[in-house]
Amino acid sequence: MLTVDFDRLGLHPGDRVLDMGCGGGRHAFEMYRRGADVIAFDQDADELSGVRDLFVAMEEAGEVPAGAEADVKEGDALSLPFADEEFDRIVAAEVLEHIPADIQAIAELARVLRPGGTIAVSVPRWFPEIINWKLSEDYHNVPGGHIRIYSDKELIGKLTNAGLDFEGKDYAHGLHAPYWWIKCAVGVRNDDHPLARAYHRLLVWEIMKQPTALKLAGRVLDPLVGKSMVLYFRKPDLG
């Protein structure tokens, strides 16, 4: 289930890319599959171990173009262990809402992006997210949970203040917002509730089979209640 549009990001084979806060690696895998040289970065060593194993499996299965490379790196988003201007593309998907010092993390992302390079940042969208917060304390009030809800104006401002040029906005996962409203209403840990279970089956069908009807429903719902807001930026090339 991808959030970022890699064509809009401008991803090309051979690009050196950073997936910052990669989690389970969904975006890193797709970028590797498209021929990029990928660094999957996270602070969770267990997650990274699984990502590394799948990188190896993808190569062994012949799922990646010849010459593409992928590796993992553990570290802190507030002090990225990379050189200035090292990456052509960066993805930071559903990460900044977890980081107290988000301005510092954004500065680090801008630092390691090369001039002319692009970055996609996604966070939970304000409207669906505020409903979740109002329905359930347990949704966000957990260790490592969401600590803020961004408006588009706030997040665009923070990234442009870091020296990046805003290039566009999109929304994703419109079918997923109602699922989380249901979960927050019946209890975020109550996976056995009939309504939550039934909607979860619908989402699994969407992800695994990608039926046309649900694709069309997603296109309608994404701009209205898409759970994720995706922002695209470019670092100015002053040379």
Least confident of 21-25, 138-142, 199-203, 224-228: 138-142
SS3 91: strand
- Comparing CA positions, the residue from 18, 60, 9, 12 lying closest to residue 36 is 12
**pLDDT digit string, tens, across residues 197-207:** 999 999 999 88
- The DSSP code sequence of 100-156 is TTHHHHHHHHHHHEEEEEEEEEEEE-HHHHHHHHHH-HHHH-STT-------HHHHH
Question: How many Cβ atoms are within 10 Å of 135's Cβ, its own excluded?
Answer: 17
**pLDDT digit string, tens, across residues 140-187:** 988 888 999 999 999 999 999 999 999 999 999 999 999 999 999 999
Domain 6-125+143-172+227-234 CATH (choose: 3.40.50.150, 3.30.2290.10, 3.90.1150.170, 3.40.50.970):
3.40.50.150
pLDDT given for residue 195 in this prediction = 94
User: What does the domain layout of the chain look like in residue ranges?
Assistant: 6-125+143-172+227-234
